[in-house]
Amino acid sequence: MRRFVVPGIAAITLIGSGAYFFVYLYRWEWNRALTSGVIFIAVEVMLVGVTLWQRIGRLAATAQASPERRRRIEARLREAPPQRTAVFDWLRPDGSSAPVFIPILMGAGLLLSGLAWVVERLARATAGSVADPGVAATMARLGPPPGGLLDDSADPLRLLRQPTSPR
């Protein structure tokens, strides 16, 4: 009985507001027609929401796993435990002493990397002032001769090319 109260009231409101919507249109009472239309749409949306809510609730109740089924799955999982991972197998004692060096090698690699980083930072901080004069000397040799590349006043073959009008 209780589950029919809300849908019953909503249905009566829906029918009444829908009917009065047309009655008010017939009477040319636009404001009242608009109000009836808004009530109609509001109740309609409410009914759709209630219906969806009830159906989702039923689906959720259906999807709930039964306790007996849950116990059966747990027992099955206990019977078939997951396979052991092999990621850290090198840590397991297998009679050989070789794995003991692996952490030592990793630590040594870490120390050497740190040492290399320190050396690189030290070189960067101290080699700048020494390298600059050497670079300047090298760059100076790459420059054009005095007077430019077209000046042939020091060329011994100049008279042979232009005997009558030396520049």
Partner 1 sequence: MKALRPLLVFVVAVAVVLGGVHLLQEATEYHGGVGAEAQTTVLFSIKDNDFHHGDAFAATALWQTCIATIGWTGEDEPAPAGERTYRAVLRPSLPDDTRRRLRGCIEDLVVNHVKGNVVSMYSGAA
Where does this chain bind partner 1 (CB under 8 A)? 22, 24-32
Interatomic CA distance for residues 152 and 37, integer angstroms: 103
Cβ nearer to partner 1, comparing 13 with 32: 32
Nearest-approach distance from CB 34 to partner 1, in angstroms: 10
Cβ nearer to partner 1, comparing 13 with 35: 35
Nearest-approach distance from CB 41 to partner 1, in angstroms: 18
Q: What three-state secondary structure class fits 9?
A: helix
Nearest-approach distance from CB 49 to partner 1, in angstroms: 27
Nearest-approach distance from CB 23 to partner 1, in angstroms: 10
Interatomic CA distance for residues 31 and 159, integer angstroms: 113
Cβ nearer to partner 1, comparing 22 with 101: 22
Interatomic CA distance for residues 43 and 13, integer angstroms: 7
Cβ nearer to partner 1, comparing 25 with 47: 25
The distance from CA 75 to its chain's CA centroid, rounded to whole angstroms, is 39
Cβ nearer to partner 1, comparing 41 with 77: 41
CA dihedral sign of residues 3, 6, 12, 15: negative
Taking each helix axis as running N to C, give the angle between helix 101-126 and helix 128-141, from 0 to 180 degrees, rounded to the nearest 10.
60
Interatomic CA distance for residues 50 and 46, integer angstroms: 6
Q: What three-state secondary structure class fits 89?
A: helix
Nearest-approach distance from CB 51 to partner 1, in angstroms: 23
